[in-house]
């Protein structure tokens, strides 16, 4: 398996030159454009790794899957989906255009920034620290890594420059999608995006979702099958932003990307896959990571369709 992974990385390495590392969050500019790594963990406890699988990066939008899971565990689906929709947007992940066009206003899904900020407002806790602490503990448990923490520089860099997200949040408060302290809600969101991981960590989170909400190693049931199913379905329909349809056809695996360069994928009942390649395409997805997952899906016949 590792021979296959090394070959797939080699075949897709040239794509890293065709993408660009994210620069709108200044701290992300420091990433090395050429990096490419992968880790696969399966339900039988096997781990396969290749390339820069050990490099750390910030989880960014991949975190939206688990914050959604916690918000549903805290409130139930009815309350969450009263505030946030279930439909793909066809727009960029940070777009605001649809927020004013739908009446009553509602972010279209929890995988775009507006939806994920609304999700952050639903996580229970008496203040931002307590809410984030609960979320971080969940990440530590399902990644099987107690050391997970935030990258402070990335967090502060986004907090300082995240005016687009601030605009989305203030608009949503104005139209009643949530109330409460906007800066505090954004603080939870910025911190969750800055959690630092490597490919192994996101492969483990992907495996937990693939295994229907149960950690295979400890057999601990952290969430219900139904919630894990909802999250994976959003990964298929919205997880790669406005490239989700093409990805579903070409790769066919529930996946979620982040602008830190990670893609987390979950092959139902089989494996979790973590890919890292910080050079992004124009949709904000890892350009070589996409290629790697496509080749892997072709070779191992992983499409769920």
Residues forming the active site: 61, 64, 189, 241, 259
DSSP state string for 25-50:
SGGGGGS-TT--EEEEEETTS-EEEE
CB of 96 to ligand GLN, least distance (A): 12
**Rule CB under 6 A: is residue 258 a binding residue for ligand GLN?**
yes
CB of 226 to ligand GLN, least distance (A): 26
**Rule CB under 6 A: is residue 93 a binding residue for ligand GLN?**
yes
**Rule CB under 6 A: is residue 94 a binding residue for ligand GLN?**
yes
**Rule CB under 6 A: is residue 89 a binding residue for ligand GLN?**
no
By CB under 6 A, name the one of 16, 60, 204, 281 that touches ligand GLN.
60
Backbone angles phi, psi at 48, to 5 degrees: -125, 135
Single out the residue of 80, 63, 75 nearest to residue 118, CA to CA. 80
**Rule CB under 6 A: is residue 196 a binding residue for ligand GLN?**
no
Name residue 37's beta-bridge partners. 51, 276
Of all helices (H) and strands (E), which one includes residue 182?
helix 182-193
**Rule CB under 6 A: is residue 193 a binding residue for ligand GLN?**
yes
**Rule CB under 6 A: is residue 61 a binding residue for ligand GLN?**
yes
CB of 11 to ligand GLN, least distance (A): 26
Coil/strand/helix, residue 59: coil
96-102 LR contacts (CB < 8 Å, sep 24+): 96/164, 96/167, 96/168, 96/171, 99/168, 99/171, 99/172, 99/175, 100/171
Query: CA distances (Å), 301 to each of 66, 113, 196, 261, 304, in order?
Result: 27, 32, 31, 24, 9
Which lies closer to ligand GLN via its Cβ, residue 243 or residue 250?
Answer: 243
**Rule CB under 6 A: is residue 227 a binding residue for ligand GLN?**
no
CB of 196 to ligand GLN, least distance (A): 13
Residues numbered 108-137 forming contacts with ligand GLN, rule: CB under 6 A: 113
Instruction: Point out which residues bind ligand GLN (CB under 6 A).
Output: 60-61, 93-94, 113, 158, 165, 193, 258-259, 284
């Amino acid at each position: 398996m590792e021979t296959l992974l090394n070959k797939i990385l080699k075949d897709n390495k040239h794509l890293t030159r065709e993408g660009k590392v994210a620069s709108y969050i200044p701290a992300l500019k420091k990433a090395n454009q050429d990096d490419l790594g992968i880790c696969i963990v399966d339900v039988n406890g096997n781990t396969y790794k290749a390339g820069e699988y050990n490099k750390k990066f910030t989880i960014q939008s991949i975190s939206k899957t688990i914050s959604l899971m916690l918000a549903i565990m805290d409130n139930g689906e009815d309350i969450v989906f009263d505030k946030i929709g279930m439909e793909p947007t066809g727009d960029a992940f940070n777009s605001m255009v649809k927020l004013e066009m739908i009446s009553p206003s509602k972010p279209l899904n929890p995988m775009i920034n507006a939806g994920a900020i609304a999700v952050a407002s639903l996580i229970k806790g008496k203040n931002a620290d307590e809410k984030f602490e609960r979320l971080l503990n969940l990440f530590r448990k399902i990644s099987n890594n107690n050391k997970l923490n935030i990258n402070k520089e990335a967090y502060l860099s986004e907090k300082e420059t995240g005016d687009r997200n601030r605009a989305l949040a203030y608009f949503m408060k104005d139209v009643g999608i949530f109330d409460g302290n906007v800066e505090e809600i954004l603080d939870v969101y910025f911190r969750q995006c800055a959690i630092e991981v490597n490919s192994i960590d996101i492969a483990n989170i992907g495996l937990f979702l693939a295994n229907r909400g149960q950690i295979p190693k400890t057999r601990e049931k952290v969430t219900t099958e139904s919630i894990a199913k909802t999250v994976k379905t959003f990964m298929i329909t919205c997880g790669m932003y406005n490239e989700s349809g093409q990805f579903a056809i070409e790769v066919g695996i529930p996946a979620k990307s982040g602008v830190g360069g990670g893609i987390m994928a979950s092959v139902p009942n089989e494996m979790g896959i973590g890919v890292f390649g910080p050079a992004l395409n124009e949709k904000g997805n890892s350009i070589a990571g996409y290629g790697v997952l496509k080749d892997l899906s072709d070779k191992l016949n992983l499409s769920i369709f």
